[in-house]
Structure 1
Amino acid sequence: MKGPRSPITDIAELNRLPDSGFQAVLLEGVSRTFALTIPQLPGALYTAVANAYLLCRIVDTIEDEVSLDAEQKKYFCRGFIEVVKTGAHADSFAAELAPLLSEQTIPAEHSLIRVIPRVIAITHSLDAAQIQALAECVQTMANGMPIYQALDLHAGLKTMKDMDDYCYYVAGCVGEMLAKLFCHYSPEIAAHRDELLKLSVSFGQGLQMTNILKDIWDDAKRGVCWLPQDIFDETGFKLTELTPTTNDQRFRKGLEHLIDIAHGHLQNALTYTQLLPSHETGIRNFCLWALGMAVLTLKKIKQHLDFNDSSQVKISRNSVKATIVASKLAARSNWLLSLLFNLSSRGLKTPDWQYLPVSHSGQ
């Protein structure tokens, strides 16, 4: 599997591309995973979902920008919500934000911020229901993420509910948006709308928790921890003691509990996918590839609980290829998908331990 192309940094050249090519190049620059999965979607969904991801990535770029203080991030997040909702003032927004980006922001994201006017023009070429779904997601994400800028995350989050909330703002609301787009695309899918919307939040949380667990040590090097202290209270470990050199059985036991919780969310992601019509193989593969890669990542973490760098639990390209092949072969069969999931996730549950999640207020 080839990696993403180098992003086109000549904005004039980028803007000469047709909309589909324009979004494809941007996706390849900012996310190899989504550049791989989004093209599996039917043509009627591709433009909207690709655009949605780029909008979310713009919010991420604002939140991650080290040169912006908390107030500036709030300012730009509020401004971006209005730009997405109305389609107005995209040029002035991009012109104000672009010069503030530091060299720590990757070149592809610099390009993305500079072409915000074109991205927003594509947003407002969609129909009203699609625009509404995208705008609601951006509003939830852009209002929720700055909350965490004000927190001291050296000692982690206080509770699992706090982690649930964070995952909702950065991923669960994206799952909801995708479910809305899928339901808008197909009356057959819309017949399961209520259940899909509920499961979509869990789907997003499972993927986000997997990323958090994979990146524990990268975050620790920055003095940041997204883990919930109450889970580790049960094992007697204080997250204030977490450092890149931590080697503690109590910490690993808490990590096992979080893997168990993430596994439960991924089980819901499988149920979500199985509710989609079997003939919609493109949408199913879009879901299955993300689900499969998350399961394999959790499995690798569980097998290497003493890892101390994300590279040690990164799945190989061969594993990605195997996930793609297996998903394509089994996509139409719910029975085969359950079998594959159960085989690949064997050992992820923690014996004699059960977490009862609290429903998120955003659902």
Structure 2
Amino acid sequence: MPDSNRAYLLGTLLKGVSRSFYLTLRVLPAGMRDPVGLAYLLARAADTIADTSLVDPERRLALLLDLRAQVNGARDDGTLSRTLATEVAREQTQSDEKVLLESIGPALDVLEGFGEADRAAVRDIVTTLTQGMEFDLRTFPDEQSGRILALPEPEALDRYTYLVAGCVGEFWTRMTYAHVPGTLKGEPPTVIDRGIRFGKALQMTNVLRDTGKDLRIGRCYLPADMLAHHELRAEDLLLPDASLRARPVRDALLRTTLALYRDALAYTLAIPGTAIRLRLACIWPIIIGLETLVLLADNDAWLDPARVSKIRRNDVYRILAYSFAVVMSDSLVTRWVNRLIDAVEARVGV
């Protein structure tokens, strides 16, 4: 496709739909940016399809599966692009997401222009991510039904976090091996496993932060057996005293999440201090995630969607500024991360 179209997709449009993640993408080494950026665009398009509640869930699932097939090389006569533009894009309130759905054809053209290894890697990660979205659509009730369903046990939550984020850590690691060889220290299986746990840490942060919002569309990612241990059901989490009653479940999952962040730190320290771009791309989500957990641990109304635990824009700028001062020092990065882990542990107990 023309270079101008590719530049628009992986520049202007990517910035419009990726928000804070765009900062991470732009700091990546050059060889990683396009495949990681395109994978994000395709996954974001798939996520938009899956989350458009004004479209029937069965129809969303069919479109999601069609997109997955297109990503994996199925021939397209233009039907999917036209359908997304007419059925899904028109329901978007954000113009960038509408444009993204209307740009599926050009995005797939960019994918076909990648080398074989990058093309296969993007296909694999988008396939796995869409399996996570498929899981949501097949598992949970229609958002309009008024019903709530909880995942059964922690193992189901762990599997879910792999499908929607842990796999991204794996993809990221394999892209680093491919495009910045010799950078990651340690045995590849160990590094890859830590990358997976890194991704799971970030998704667990999202799950806990967004529990109140998710409950109101029928989705409870807090495991039913953990809730039952405290004489709670998913439906009880909508009651006025739910934040207090469910706090032990939240705190247990916070402790699980902190263990994942410790592996995220180990993953980051496997990157030499001189590989500044890669280190920054890891430090930023770790610190933003941990500061979010501090807010969450302090939030007595954490299940109220009107009081979501979210760091401010000025805090993001502060994190970015300080990260440049410490990025090359293992000890300073470790101290920063451990200080935040300790802050969460002090609030929830160990």
TM-score, normalised to structure 2's length? 0.89
Q: Identity over aligned residues, as a percent?
A: 26
TM-superposition CA deviations, 1:335-359 (whole Å, max 9, x none):
211111011222323435xxxxxxx
Which of 63, 69, 74 aligns to 2:56? It is 69
Which ranges in structure 2 are unaligned for 5 or more consecutive residues? 142-147
Indicate how the Cα distance of structure 1 residues 99 and 244 shifts in structure 2: closer, same or farther if over 3 A, else same. Answer: farther
Give yes or no for the alignment of 1:188 onto 2:165. Answer: no
TM-superposition CA deviations, 1:200-251 (whole Å, max 9, x none):
2211111111111111222223333221122233433332311063445331
Q: Equivalent residue for 1:347? A: 343
- Deviation (angstroms), 1:22: 3.0
User: Is the 8 Å Cα contact of residues 220 and 244 (structure 1) preserved in structure 2?
Assistant: no
What residue identity is the alignment partner of 1:163?
Answer: L
- 1:107-146 to structure 2, matched below 5 A, reads 107-146=95-134
CA distance in 2, matches of 1:30, 1:247: 34
Indicate how the Cα distance of structure 1 residues 105 and 175 shifts in structure 2: closer, same or farther if over 3 A, else same. Answer: farther
What residue identity is the alignment partner of 1:97?
Answer: L
- 1:5-24 to structure 2, matched below 5 A, reads 17-24=4-11
- Deviation (angstroms), 1:63: 1.0
Indicate how the Cα distance of structure 1 residues 235 and 113 shifts in structure 2: closer, same or farther if over 3 A, else same. Answer: same
- Aligned Cα root-mean-square deviation (Å): 2.2
The DSSP-based 3-state class of the residue aligned with 1:242 is helix
- Deviation (angstroms), 1:104: 4.5
- Deviation (angstroms), 1:177: 1.2
Which of 251, 274, 282 aligns to 1:287? It is 282
Give yes or no for the alignment of 1:335 onto 2:325. Answer: no
Q: Which deviates more, 161-170 or 24-33?
A: 24-33
TM-score, normalised to structure 1's length? 0.86
- 1:242-257 to structure 2, matched below 5 A, reads 242-243=237-238, 245-257=240-252
- Deviation (angstroms), 1:147: 2.4
Give yes or no for the alignment of 1:106 onto 2:94. Answer: yes
Name the count of aligned residue pairs: 338
User: Is the 8 Å Cα contact of residues 123 and 131 (structure 1) preserved in structure 2?
Assistant: yes
- 1:151-162 to structure 2, matched below 5 A, reads 151-152=139-140, 154-162=148-156
User: Is the 8 Å Cα contact of residues 27 and 34 (structure 1) preserved in structure 2?
Assistant: no
Q: Equivalent residue for 1:33? A: 20
User: Is the 8 Å Cα contact of residues 183 and 189 (structure 1) preserved in structure 2?
Assistant: yes
Q: Equivalent residue for 2:157? A: 163
Q: Equivalent residue for 2:40? A: 53
CA distance in 2, matches of 1:81, 1:116: 12
User: Is the 8 Å Cα contact of residues 63 and 73 (structure 1) preserved in structure 2?
Assistant: yes
Which ranges in structure 1 are unaligned for 5 or more consecutive residues? 1-14, 353-363
- 1:72-111 to structure 2, matched below 5 A, reads 72-86=59-73, 88-89=75-76, 91-101=78-88, 102-104=90-92, 106-111=94-99
Q: Equivalent residue for 1:174? A: 168
Kindly report structure 1 stretches of 4+ aligned residues shifted beyond 6 Å.
none
Q: Which deviates more, 50-59 or 225-234?
A: 225-234
Which of 193, 201, 213 aligns to 2:196? It is 201
Indicate how the Cα distance of structure 1 residues 317 and 144 shifts in structure 2: closer, same or farther if over 3 A, else same. Answer: closer
CA distance in 2, matches of 1:317, 1:62: 28
CA distance in 1, matches of 2:226, 2:326: 36
Q: Equivalent residue for 1:258? A: 253
Q: Which deviates more, 101-110 or 214-223?
A: 101-110
CA distance in 2, matches of 1:321, 1:61: 28
